[in-house]
Structure 1
Amino acid sequence: MNTTADPRTVTAAAPELRRWTPPAVEVRRGGVVGAELAGFDVLAVPVAAGEGADAPLQPRPGAADAAVRYGIDLAAACAAEGSTGRTAQVTRLPVTAPAGSPRRLLVVGVGDSSPTALRRSGAALARAVASAPGDVATTLADGVGAAGTRAFVEGFLLASYAPPVSGRRAASAPEPRRLLLLGAVEAADVRHAEVSAGATVLTRDLAATPSNLKDPQWMTAQVREVAAGLRLKVEVREEDRLRREGFGGLLAVGAGSASSPALVQVGWTPRARPDAPHVVLVGKGITYDTGGLGIKPREGMVAMKTDMAGSAAVLAVVAAAARLKLPVKVTGLLALAENAFGADSYRPGDVVTHYGGRTTEVNNTDAEGRVVLGDALAYADAVLRPDVLVDVATLTGAATLGLGKRHAALYSADADLVAQLEAAADASGERVWHMPLVEDYAASLDSDVADARQVTTTPGHGGGSIVAALFLRPFTGGRRWAHLDIAGTGRADGPEHEVVKGATGYGARLLLEWLETSVAPGTAPGAR
């Protein structure tokens, strides 16, 4: 990734960042016995718990052969070390490695060998070998099918991830390891997993970049760089054009910053499918959020470099759709601005005119995400005319209060679209919870001076995430639409399974899975 930003908007002390390089994944047909494993530091094999309380541990592909190779009684060794075969349990067995064999033998519990179990087991293996980096050979993907292979590789790659670093830490960053998959594994499934995991990695990298490097112009440069390698079409609306065309929401939010706002459009169109269904993805891209004149407390600003995670996910999904050559037209809209404060900042009480003419009475300058999304959604409806419209945004703290940090809030009145996204969430491991669009709450956005208030001013009203979704709905023009509030899932306080601390990259795999399984096969969402 290019880390050179516009010198007019970046401090002189801005660091150079070193970004993580993923492990190289190789496939080799054949089992453990007789395999040439010289140079590998770790051999990992799967085991599972037997059915019933007293049932013996069940070796999975490669485990029994590993026992032969190392000359051990596998059941006895596992019992002695407390290995039960439960999902994501990694146990090192004491062995003396014969010549040409890895010095460490690990057994990894895979539970029921479902994709979820394999994703978590892959993540656990990655963390188990992180303290002593080395090359890993494994049979965990042997014979588990396409979904299992993809899940395992995703888990391993994503849990191996490290955020961008600078200074002395960058100089001492470990070199990437190799991951060798032994057995009946299809290379195409591995490459697919690398693309889907790569989408999450790109999202994480962009969201984790410090905001003294990252502003709307920097994000625009990243879009151009990603698009150039894939021949994606890019169109950028900068401040002058935004003003001419009436994008008042973006202009209002970005007015207080030295960095001007932008609306970036990036698209993938399959050449072989001119009649392909058209999906538009809209991402909130607030590159830093101080709260504006309604300034946040210091603690509330610490994670705000990730307030553009929705736009990062949108870019990553469009790029991944191109890499996989999905037979669906995907357009991404990145609504980019920095919510700072200054002499030109928008104020509580202002009335903003959005693209298309809808007006908003501003009540809270820290509810800026919905203001920029309103412009982008209205443009998507009026100009791009998609079959289905999905926005993704770190939008409300209320979503986190209601659902915590493991489920994104999903809003849509379209039952089929909800079912598709829920299925994609189950398959990808990026969980959602369908929330109601409570019609009785819509009146709380009534305004005396504009088409709507930005937030409710009714004391103790609650339901802030629902109200935000209701605010966005009119901008969609009645099209099939879903809103993902990822304020909780976009950031993590600590690692869990394939999720890492900090920017999680949430949304990229979920949306990619949905495009591939629900839209691309021909189940076109249909026009309004």
Structure 2
Amino acid sequence: MARTGTRSTIGRTPPELWPSGGTLVSTDLLDDGSVDAIAVPLVPAVEGEHGAQPGEGAADVSALYGIDLAEIADRVGLTGASGESYVLQLPRAVGSAVQLPWQALPPRVVLLGLGARSAADLRHAGAALARASRGLGRVLTTAGVQGSQSASQAAQAARAFAEGYLLAAYRPPTSATGPAPAPSAELVLLGRDGTRVTAALDAARTAAAATWLVRDLTTTPSSTKTPAWLADQAKRLAARRGLETQVLTPRELSAQGFGGILAVGAGSASTPRLVVVRYTPTNASGRHVVLVGKGITFDTGGISIKPRESMVTMKTDMAGAAVALATVLAAADSGLAHAVTAVLPLAENHFGASSYRPGDVLRVYGGTTVEVANTDAEGRLVLADALAWADATLEPDVLVDVATLTGAAAVGLGKQRGALFGTDDALVAALERAGEAVGEPLWRLPLVEDYADAVRSDVADLRHVPADAGLGAGAITAALFLREFVGSRRWAHLDIAGPARATSDRHEITEGATGFGARLLLQYLADLR
């Protein structure tokens, strides 16, 4: 693949969603041959009952097909737990003399567990259906519908189920000469209609598309994904939406004093960039939220070189920049009331004759000097430049950075939660709520003041890695270093080193780049008053 090539698959859109107020019995879709499968919801047994119990529409399907679906669920050991699925492949008759009850009906029935029908359960169920229906054309389901639901509850259930479906439908893009990934089916959600449900499905598709974009960009190999290439992608995607874009090249970075970005990128033949994408709503009466995303397109560790095993995933070290970019684009797509600016410091941390060294003293944007202790802690240096510049020039009401920053955060919190730091309790609480709502949870860690001296230096204003290797608290000291560059802004730092990558599929999470962070930031923006 050419180093400067563009993959047309970047910015793909998820499968279509179709709300319908019909029931399984009355819908005309069953008769036109366009439906490949019907997904029937199952729920866990209540006290005193045994096995999975049929959900909404299951009785209708049993009657249509002349099959006892509850007996089949019991026979294959389904419990109705969220994420369970079983595909019943129905045979076709041989010869015109034999007529089967399902002769004119879709040839597959998917038995789908919904669990307790919480938002997380419905996302898991949607994800299970996406995997069970991969390669099909269209699927019908009443999953998540309950007769007692209010319009608001129906909309929330539809969004959760649809998001799970769309997120799990993702497949990594391939090169122009490679095989196309098998698509997931279009999804028709029966029993759901009305303005609220339609809006909820639109929101689900926008959020899923943002996550798809993060995954696409993060998955792109570094042989293609240079800082210049990523800057071009940002410009192209922003131009589609009429957004303003600014790109600073090495000449401008040098003239304006971006010493951190320039030092980190000095060892690479692929020169660094700083990209700014601005969304300003027509009626700009809301807040101005600035998102800064770490964009290391590949990380060798520099002179403090990583072991080979640790380098394997380092094409994903720009996930924070992808999250910030996808969020500002989705904010524009959604017409959010708040102005959003994404700031993307992009560099490749390589090593060579011009690499920066441990012991060097850098001058970052604004004049702060920083002693370098470890060239493999490059992310906080590019973020320092970008945060200081955002504070000085953009006048943000809220400043949030997102980065695959420290292994310490992944060790402490594992692969399913991001680490959250902040200077404003209300901002931190709002981000926590947003994360829980969309299934991208955060866990707040403290900015321990007793550790602040660890980022002080005898030869510069700051030292970006503590001198005491036995201090520990690597995620905390990194956050304390970043805090020095945000002024008095309301600031939060998301360390997503753990959940940005996954080693296997799990519910709505896909193996490889997960896209963690885009949906929670969109939810935060939607909730912001």
TM over 0.5: yes
Alignment of 1:66 with 2:61, yes or no, is yes
Q: Secondary structure of the residue that 1:364 maps to in structure 2?
A: coil
Alignment of 1:352 with 2:355, yes or no, is no
Report deviation, 1:443: 1.0
Alignment of 1:42 with 2:37, yes or no, is yes
User: What is the percent sequence identity of the aligned residues?
Assistant: 51
Matched residue type, 1:6: T
The structure 1 residue matched to 2:179, chosen from 171, 174, 177, is 171
Report deviation, 1:414: 1.8
Instruction: Tell me how far apart the structure 2 counterparts of residues 397 and 327 of structure 1 sit (CA, whole Å).
Output: 36
Report deviation, 1:164: 1.9
**1:341–1:496 CA distance, 2 compared to 1 (3 A):** same
Instruction: Give the equivalent residue in structure 2 for 1:259.
Output: 270
CA contact (8 A) 1:437 1:466 kept: yes
Instruction: Tell me how far apart the structure 2 counterparts of residues 16 and 286 of structure 1 sit (CA, whole Å).
Output: 19
Instruction: Tell me how far apart the structure 2 counterparts of residues 219 and 240 of structure 1 sit (CA, whole Å).
Output: 18
List aligned pairs for 1:304-323, cutoff 5 A: 304-323=314-333
Q: Secondary structure of the residue that 1:171 maps to in structure 2?
A: coil
Matched residue type, 1:128: A
CA contact (8 A) 1:400 1:487 kept: yes
Instruction: Tell me how far apart the structure 1 counterparts of residues 279 and 122 of structure 2 sit (CA, whole Å).
Output: 31
Instruction: Give the equivalent residue in structure 2 for 1:192.
Output: 203
**1:283–1:94 CA distance, 2 compared to 1 (3 A):** closer
Any stretches of 5+ residues in structure 2 without a counterpart? 92-100, 147-152
Instruction: Give the equivalent residue in structure 2 for 1:332.
Output: 342
CA contact (8 A) 1:280 1:330 kept: yes
Alignment of 1:410 with 2:405, yes or no, is no
Alignment of 1:461 with 2:456, yes or no, is no
Report deviation, 1:259: 1.3
Instruction: Give the equivalent residue in structure 1 for 2:295.
Output: 285
The structure 2 residue matched to 1:149, chosen from 143, 158, 162, is 158
Q: Secondary structure of the residue that 2:294 maps to in structure 1?
A: strand
Matched residue type, 1:403: L
Alignment of 1:241 with 2:252, yes or no, is yes
Off by >4 Å, runs of 4+ in structure 1? 15-21, 93-97
**1:293–1:426 CA distance, 2 compared to 1 (3 A):** same
Q: What CA deviation, in whole Å up to 9, does each residue of 1:213-255 have, x standing for no partner?
A: 0011101111111111111111111111111111111111111
Q: What CA deviation, in whole Å up to 9, does each residue of 1:276-327 have, x standing for no partner?
A: 2110000000001111111111111110000000000000000000000000
CA contact (8 A) 1:17 1:165 kept: no
TM-score with structure 1 setting the length: 0.92
Choose 468-477 or 107-116, whichever is displaced more. 107-116
Report deviation, 1:92: 3.2
Matched residue type, 2:526: E
Instruction: Tell me how far apart the structure 2 counterparts of residues 95 and 163 of structure 1 sit (CA, whole Å).
Output: 31
Matched residue type, 1:104: R
Q: Secondary structure of the residue that 1:476 maps to in structure 2?
A: coil
Instruction: Give the equivalent residue in structure 1 for 2:102.
Output: 98
Instruction: Tell me how far apart the structure 2 counterparts of residues 245 and 383 of structure 1 sit (CA, whole Å).
Output: 12
CA contact (8 A) 2:169 2:184 kept: no
The structure 1 residue matched to 2:285, chosen from 248, 251, 275, is 275
Report deviation, 1:395: 0.3
**1:16–1:278 CA distance, 2 compared to 1 (3 A):** closer
Instruction: Give the equivalent residue in structure 1 for 2:488.
Output: 478
Report deviation, 1:51: 2.4
Report deviation, 1:171: 2.9
Report deviation, 1:55: 5.7
Alignment of 1:124 with 2:128, yes or no, is yes
Alignment of 1:136 with 2:160, yes or no, is no
Choose 104-113 or 200-209, whichever is displaced more. 104-113
The structure 1 residue matched to 2:507, chosen from 497, 501, 519, is 497
List aligned pairs for 1:216-227, cutoff 5 A: 216-227=227-238
CA contact (8 A) 1:313 1:508 kept: yes
Instruction: Give the equivalent residue in structure 1 for 2:94.
Output: none
Instruction: Give the equivalent residue in structure 1 for 2:400.
Output: 390
Choose 250-259 or 186-195, whichever is displaced more. 186-195
**1:74–1:260 CA distance, 2 compared to 1 (3 A):** same
Instruction: Tell me how far apart the structure 2 counterparts of residues 301 and 17 of structure 1 sit (CA, whole Å).
Output: 27
CA contact (8 A) 1:142 1:181 kept: no
Report deviation, 1:17: 7.2
Matched residue type, 1:116: A
The structure 2 residue matched to 1:26, chosen from 18, 23, 26, is 18
Question: Between Structure 1 and Structure 2, how many residues are aligned?
Answer: 507
**1:425–1:446 CA distance, 2 compared to 1 (3 A):** same
CA contact (8 A) 1:283 1:334 kept: yes
CA contact (8 A) 1:283 1:373 kept: yes
Instruction: Give the equivalent residue in structure 2 for 1:526.
Output: none
Q: Secondary structure of the residue that 2:351 maps to in structure 1?
A: coil
Q: Secondary structure of the residue that 2:362 maps to in structure 1?
A: strand
Matched residue type, 1:263: L
Instruction: Tell me how far apart the structure 2 counterparts of residues 29 and 206 of structure 1 sit (CA, whole Å).
Output: 37
Report deviation, 1:418: 1.5
Choose 333-342 or 40-49, whichever is displaced more. 40-49
Instruction: Give the equivalent residue in structure 1 for 2:98.
Output: none
CA contact (8 A) 2:172 2:216 kept: yes
Q: Secondary structure of the residue that 1:401 maps to in structure 2?
A: helix
Q: What CA deviation, in whole Å up to 9, does each residue of 1:69-126 have, x standing for no partner?
A: 1112333232222222111111234756623311111121111111111001111111
Instruction: Tell me how far apart the structure 2 counterparts of residues 59 and 33 of structure 1 sit (CA, whole Å).
Output: 16
Instruction: Tell me how far apart the structure 1 counterparts of residues 477 and 275 of structure 2 sit (CA, whole Å).
Output: 27
Instruction: Tell me how far apart the structure 2 counterparts of residues 119 and 431 of structure 1 sit (CA, whole Å).
Output: 14
Matched residue type, 1:110: L
CA contact (8 A) 1:141 1:181 kept: no
Instruction: Tell me how far apart the structure 2 counterparts of residues 112 and 277 of structure 1 sit (CA, whole Å).
Output: 37
Instruction: Give the equivalent residue in structure 2 for 1:428.
Output: 438
Instruction: Give the equivalent residue in structure 2 for 1:183.
Output: 191
Instruction: Give the equivalent residue in structure 2 for 1:445.
Output: 455
Report deviation, 1:43: 0.6
Q: Secondary structure of the residue that 2:267 maps to in structure 1?
A: coil
Choose 47-56 or 309-318, whichever is displaced more. 47-56
Q: Secondary structure of the residue that 1:475 maps to in structure 2?
A: coil
Choose 262-271 or 361-370, whichever is displaced more. 262-271
CA contact (8 A) 2:14 2:205 kept: no
Q: What CA deviation, in whole Å up to 9, does each residue of 1:363-422 have, x standing for no partner?
A: 000000000000000011111111111000000011111111111100113221111111
Instruction: Give the equivalent residue in structure 1 for 2:4.
Output: 6
Q: Secondary structure of the residue that 2:206 maps to in structure 1?
A: helix
Instruction: Give the equivalent residue in structure 1 for 2:386.
Output: 376
